[in-house]
Amino acid sequence: MDSNFTKIARILLGLALILFGINKFYSFIPMPQPPQDAAEFLGSLAETGYFMTFVAVLEIIIGLMLLFKLWVPFALLLLLPISINIVLFHLFLDLPSISAGLILAILNVVLLYKHKQKYKPLFI
């Protein structure tokens, strides 16, 4: 079940989630200025006062779960709506910056597929 590729993908995904989750609090990675529509959308999410914090905390928790190999199939399911929304955000509002979101989503889907046996009871 846990091939070297799966381990590397899980660790990379976990590290990326932790890094970008912490970056939402401390902004140590400079982000390029998004297009106007994307900036307005992100601004409205930030104005809620909780949404971006919630996403950041969730990313950090999921990243830690993946790094420490705790409930990996569950962590991957939690991550799926986040990764889909990242890809859709970039697809519709910031296409030039879609690469990181696609990599995250691809790693998520690949790892979900690697754990497909764990999800079979959900579809019986």
What are the extents of the domains in the chain? 4-123
List all residues 6 or more positions away from 67 whose beta carbon is below 8 Å from its beta carbon: 10, 11, 14, 15, 18
Q: What was the pLDDT predicted at 92?
A: 97
**Can you read off the two tokens belonging to residue 9?**
């993908």
d(CA 120, CA 75): 16
Q: What was the pLDDT predicted at 1?
A: 54
| Other Cβ atoms closer than 10 A to 25 | 12
Q: What was the pLDDT predicted at 57?
A: 97
Q: What was the pLDDT predicted at 124?
A: 83
| Each residue's pLDDT expressed in tens, for the chain with a length of 124 residues | 578 999 999 999 999 999 999 999 999 999 889 999 999 999 999 999 999 999 999 999 999 999 999 999 999 999 999 999 999 999 999 999 999 999 999 999 999 999 999 999 988 8
Q: From its phi and psi, is residue 69 left (phi > 0), alpha (psi between -120 and 50) or beta? A: left
List all residues 6 or more positions away from 20 whose beta carbon is below 8 Å from its beta carbon: 29, 59
